[in-house]
Every structure is written in structure tokens, then in C-alpha cells.
Amino acid sequence: MRVAVTVLFALTGVVFAGWVVRIPAVKEQVDASPGELGIALLGVSAGAVLTMTATGRLCARFGPHPVAVACATLLSLSVALPARTHSAVALGLVLVVFGAAYGGLSVAVNSAAVDLVAAVRRPVMPTFHAAFSFGGLLGAGLGALLAPHLSAARHLLLLTALGLVTTAACSAALLRGSAAVCPPEGDTRPASRAGRNAGPDRLPFAVVVFGLIALCTAYGEGALADWGALHLEQDLHTGTGLAAVGYAAFSLAMTAGRLCGTWLVERVGQTAALVGGGLTGAAGMLVGALAPQVWLVLAGFALTGLGLANLFPIAIARAGALAGPRGVAVGSTLGYSGMLVGPPAIGLLAEQVGLPLALTTVPLLAGFAAVIAYVVRGTGTAPADPPRPAAPSVAGGTPERSLARPPGDEEAERS
């Protein structure tokens, strides 16, 4: 079960990155101006944001596993559509479908991961997000290799085939069993459907707070993706190749940080990981935005990636512990909104004060995330965050359902 969920996280990264690297070719195909392309690309964000809350309700009703399979299938099919369009309007419409599938799959796999965290009784959420980051790096690398040899239509159709085969391989494990933690005694529904404090009028305010932490992290990711290379090229006068290294350093550091995330949380606790990560990311981005030397900027970008790496997965895990799939949906929606708002906000600020100062909004928000993580410490998790032993496993490696409620559920119930 854990392998299947991890593979779907990686598949999400591969498919999304594969689409991103073919945006220039699709732009040329539909003959869109930069402004028209920008509006069309908003379809991805619009589809994702509009779908996430509804997906949370579907996960609460049917469980996250069948929803994840359905969304992964739709994502795999819809990634081939942009290369079949011939106008900016048509491109925007199919990107709404693609974004809806992407947002739905993000909520579903995160909901499944929250149940797995409770089942294995260890803070393994960062490893799932490491799989997504690794999938993004793999998808971008494969795209760079295939772009000179395959048209956008054939490349994206290849991603469709890969996605459908991978989803089919994972679906048996996902649909056969459930990684959900057993509900309280007397409640026969799976925990993912019981919704752990997820009643329509009982969504804890702390869920929104954790969503704000995710938003601050995603704001930084979006800023580095869209403006990092330009900062190096425009403000430090590097070449195009060296400018691209900046985001690569950030991405690799974030992947490495997430691979170490479980180890880190088990040793210092979730609150310390959130506060320390926010402060580290803030320090790194201050250097990245204001340092006058290229090597210092690259080091700052890498430090930012390490610092921000685990904020999003921990925040989503804690939102899910408090409110089940609805908590995951709210946290994911707020987080994705940060990636949507960040790049244009920095662009507007850059026109007024210059790009280096505009990029200092990233450390401001990272520091804010650290502060609010400290303020809500202990909410949605065990107070001391002790290392948790793995739950017994059944044959084949599928985690057995926990015989007790996960640490922190009683505290979440009171909040």
C-alpha cells in the first residue's frame, strides 16, 4: 500500500513536469501571445483550486484510494489534450480539466498518506513529498531529453501511456485494502470516511493555520521557479545556463530535505522541524535575494530548499490529523493558492522596488510560517512528538490497521 501511494506521488510530479517542459512548443502550436498564454495557464490553477474542496468531500465519503485511482486516470488522459489544441481558448479549457485532475489527485494521495502516517505511527509524510519532488526532476529531465526528438503531441501521449500503466499497476493494491486507521469503537466507517473531527460545522481553526503554513511554503516555491533564474541572469549578469542552475540547486536541496524529513521529525519533533525549517528558509532566501556574488546566491537558494522542504508535508499531515480529508483539502487549497499568488505578486513588487527586494517577501513569509507554527505547537500531534514504532505488517508489506487511535487524535478531538 505504501509503495502504491508513493508511486502515485511520483507519477504526479512526472506528469506535471512533463507538461511544463512542453509549454513553449504548445505556445507556438496555438500561436498565443505571452498574455494569451498566461491567461490560458491560469486554467491549471483554476481547475485545481475549484476541485480540491470537492475532492475532500469525495474522499470522506468513498475513501481516498478509489478517488486517487480515478484522478490519476483523468490526469494521465488529460495531459495529452493541450498538444491537440489549436487556439488559446481551447488550450485554457483543456487546462482546466488537467488542473482539476491534478488538484484532485493531490488531495486524494495526501489523504491516503495521512491515513498511512496514522497506520504506521511514524511521521513519514515527507517521504511521499520527496517522491513528488523526485518525480518532478525525472519528468523535467526526460522532457529535456525527448524534446529534440519528439513532438509535443507524441511526448505527452507517451506520458498518457506511462500514467495509465502506472495507475493500473497501483490500483489493485489501492482498491484491495485500506491504510486508514480504525475509527473509534462503535463507528464502523473507515477513518478516512469518519473524517476525524471533519463534521460540516466542526472544522478546527487550526486547519486553516496549517493551510497558511503550506501557503507560505508554496509561495516560496513558486517564486523560485518563476523568478530565481531571472534574478541570477538580470541582477547578477550570469549566463542562461548558470541561471538555470539556481532552481536546480533549490529543487535538489528540497528533495534531499524531504528524504531526511522522517528522520528529522522523529528526532526533533514536528514543531521544531516547522520552526527550524521556516527560519532556515528565511535565512537562505535573504542571502539568495540580496547577496552580490553568484555562489552565495546559489548557496542561498539551496539553503532555502532545505529549509522549506518539510513545511508543506508536515502542515498537510497535521491538517489531515485534525479534520481528515476535508483538512487535507483546505490545507492543499490554501497551499496551492500560495503558488498561484506568489509569482504575480513578486512581479508587481519588482516593478516598484526591483526584483531583489521583491524576493525578500519569501523570507518574510517563511519567518511568518515559523512564528505561527510555534504558536499552534502541539495541535494535531502528540505533545512530545516521540519516535513511533512501526505498526505490524501483513504479508506483502501492507501496513496493518492500528489497533489504537494515533497519537494526537485525543488532543485534536479536544481542539
**In this structure, are residues 328 and 114 in contact, taking their beta carbons and an 8 Å threshold?**
yes
User: Which residues make beta-bridge pairs with 393?
Assistant: 399
Q: Is 380 left (phi over 0), alpha (psi -120 to 50) or beta?
A: left
Which residue type sits at 238? T
Which residue type sits at 361? T
Same fold for the pair 1-178 and 194-387+406-415: yes
**Model pLDDT, residue 251:** 84
**Model pLDDT, residue 370:** 94
How far, in whole angstroms, is CA 119 from its chain's centroid? 21
**In this structure, are residues 75 and 109 in contact, taking their beta carbons and an 8 Å threshold?**
no
Q: Identify the residue whose cell numbers are 499552534.
A: 376
**Model pLDDT, residue 386:** 40
**Model pLDDT, residue 48:** 86
> Is the dihedral angle over the CA atoms 106, 25, 239, 338 positive or is it negative?
negative
Q: For residue 74, what are the contacts with CB-CB under 8 A and spacing of at least 6?
A: 97, 100, 101, 104
Nearest Cα to 174, choosing from 8, 389, 382?
8
List the chain domain ranges. 1-178, 194-387+406-415
Fold category of 194-387+406-415 in CATH: Growth Hormone; Chain: A; (1.20.1250)
Q: What would the CATH number be for the domain defined by 1-178?
A: 1.20.1250.20
**Model pLDDT, residue 379:** 62
Whole-number average pLDDT of the chain: 81
Q: What parts of the chain have a pLDDT lower than 70? A: 177-203, 240-241, 244, 378-415
Question: What are the tens digits of pLDDT across the range 202-222?
Answer: 667 888 999 999 999 989 888
**Model pLDDT, residue 84:** 92
**Model pLDDT, residue 335:** 85
Sequential DSSP letters for 171-202: HHHHHH---PPPPSTT--S-HHHH-SS--TT-
- Helical spans, DSSP H, in 79-180: 88-120, 125-146, 152-176
Question: What are the tens digits of pLDDT across the range 159-198?
Answer: 999 999 999 999 988 888 554 434 444 443 444 444 444 4
